[in-house]
Structure 1
Amino acid sequence: MIKKAFTATFAVFLTANVQAEAVGLYLGGQVWQSEASGVFGEINALRDFDLAKEYQNNYFVAIEHPFPLLPNIRISSTSLATLGHIRSMQEFSNDNEVYYVDVRVDSDVEANFNVSYIDYTLYYQVFDNGLFSVDLGLSARDFNGSVTVTETTNTTTTTADKIWDEEEHDGHDHPPITETTTTVEANNKKTNDIEPMLYVASSISLPLTGVSVFAQGDFSLINDHSLYDYQLGLSYDLINNVMVDFNLTLGYRAVKMEFQDVNSLYTDLEFKGAFVGVIAHF
């Protein structure tokens, strides 16, 4: 009896060791220069702020295991930040027989878009033959950030005498009178929504090259919001041994965020551009 118990315990221990060795830990990150385009603001005041190109970053950790009924886990963090502005000038004049009035309005609107999100993903590797793999799962995208719009308006009013009659003229100069008024308004919108998304990933290895082609994306599952986040690229094995695999990745990434009334915030934005990254597999 003791011998059977010892044998069973040893078998369980050995099996656990084999399974533990099959568990894989992935750590990775990206830097990409995104070109932002689109509009955002309140429902009746959507504006194109001529958003600037900025470098964005992304980090992720993933754990894959051999247990068929349990999903693999992936957690990814992405930050999107950019600045934009709108500058305009309007001038109004009033000219009559007595005086001349000139009103100039200079408006400078600056937008600070700073939104980040964390993806909590559960997925299964539905196919893998060593050369071609497909992953399928669900993501919960947890948004956190704010959009701040600051509008500075300078109103300059110049009033000058137009004419004087000989009887009215007192012999003194009447210089123009200029008055400037500055108004600053700031509007801050925050978002902290959680959006469900479909997660899909695939990879094709090119034999004898150390190069693989990959595609990965998250796509929204709610009709009220149009969200997607996909990337296409190449991965190259810099280091490949029993201890660690270290890959360099190059590719193209696009993020779409179209929100309808998220805390009174409306957006129709797209960030896209080339990226470079690394992935370590232990």
Structure 2
Amino acid sequence: MNKTAALISSLMLLTSTTAAADAIGVYVGAQGWDMAAEGSHGENNELVEYNFKDESQARFYLAFEHPVPFIPNIKIAHSELMTKGLEVDTNNEFANLVVEGSEVDFTYTDYTLYYELFDNGLFSFDFGLTAKDFEGELLTSDTMGLDEDSVDEIIPMLYASAQVSLPGTGLSVFAEGNFLSIDDHTLADYQAGIAYALIDNIVIDVNLSAGYRVVDLELDDLDGVYADLEFDGAFAGVEVHF
């Protein structure tokens, strides 16, 4: 998949939509994610399953919204996605015999163009496209040496976000995600949770959030990489709105 072509096609599709935010706003956020991982990866569709370590990961994002028609809002998010694991040789009579190690690094940056299609103060819904910039590495090591597979692609994905406020409480529930299913590849990155307005005035808003996040990767010969991996766990975050 060509990076430039994927990014251009995403931009062309988005600019055909007409919707806009009500006012200029800048959002800055950070999240801590208590992530568990499971799954397998390998070469030539011969997948090896690993017992991966739980990890603490981070996500940072910056979004800019404006009221200009036809021009999309923009959000940039950077997510860590790293873990290590050990293979269990299920064909060996000695259960849980470690025969191979794995290091996964699918850290990526999302570039999202979106429109605020609906917002009445109680419910909002955004829709757009994300260019997911993958520069991932899969390392495997055993007594025979070290093997490395890498992915360097920009993958276009659908983006959607919704939030429902609970009047008089300062609380709201939200969901956000990116999705793609094409050829034999399936990718999903979504989260849902609850937010609390710690500070809410005309100068600055500060929101605290907590929820659950899932990243699913099913790759079938993407730059030679075959993988079936799931990362999930609880997260907590803070967002500042100027």
Query: What TM-score bracket applies, with the shorter chain setting the length?
Result: 0.7 to 0.9
1:141-160 aligned at under 5 Å gives the runs 141-152=132-143
* Matching residue within 213, 216, 241 for 1:253: 213
How big is the alpha-carbon RMSD for the aligned residues of Structure 1 and Structure 2?
A: 1.8
Contact 2:75–2:113 (8 Å) recurs in 1: yes
- The separation in 2 between residues aligned to 1:122 and 1:44, in whole angstroms, is 34
Q: Deviations over 1:257-278 (max 9, x none)?
A: 1111122210000101100001
Letter in 2 for 1:211: L
2:200 equivalent to 1:240: yes
Letter in 2 for 1:25: V
1:92-241 aligned at under 5 Å gives the runs 108-152=99-143, 184-241=144-201
Q: Deviations over 1:54-109 (max 9, x none)?
A: 11111110000011211100111111010101255979xxxxxxxxxxxxxx8631
Q: Which residue of 1 aligns with 2:79?
A: 78
- The separation in 1 between residues aligned to 2:38 and 2:87, in whole angstroms, is 14
- The separation in 2 between residues aligned to 1:271 and 1:263, in whole angstroms, is 21
Q: Which residue of 2 aligns with 1:98?
A: none
* Matching residue within 213, 221, 224 for 1:264: 224
Q: How far does residue 224 in structure 1 lie from its aligned partner after superposition?
A: 2.7
Letter in 2 for 1:136: F
- The separation in 1 between residues aligned to 2:223 and 2:207, in whole angstroms, is 40
- The separation in 2 between residues aligned to 1:223 and 1:57, in whole angstroms, is 30
Contact 1:107–1:151 (8 Å) recurs in 2: no
Q: Deviations over 1:111-148 (max 9, x none)?
A: 01111111111100000001000000011101012110
Q: How far does residue 222 in structure 1 lie from its aligned partner after superposition?
A: 2.3
Classify 1:258/1:221 alpha carbon distance in 2 versus 1 (closer, same or farther; 3 Å): closer
- The separation in 2 between residues aligned to 1:23 and 1:30, in whole angstroms, is 23
Stretches of structure 2 that go unaligned for 5 or more consecutive residues are 1-21
Q: Which residue of 2 aligns with 1:165?
A: none
Q: Which residue of 2 aligns with 1:66?
A: 67
- The separation in 2 between residues aligned to 1:205 and 1:107, in whole angstroms, is 49
Letter in 2 for 1:86: E
Name the TM-score, length of structure 1 as normaliser: 0.74
Contact 1:196–1:222 (8 Å) recurs in 2: no
2:57 equivalent to 1:56: yes
Q: Which residue of 2 aligns with 1:173?
A: none
Q: What percent of counterpart residues are identical?
A: 45
- The separation in 2 between residues aligned to 1:228 and 1:115, in whole angstroms, is 13
Contact 2:108–2:134 (8 Å) recurs in 1: yes
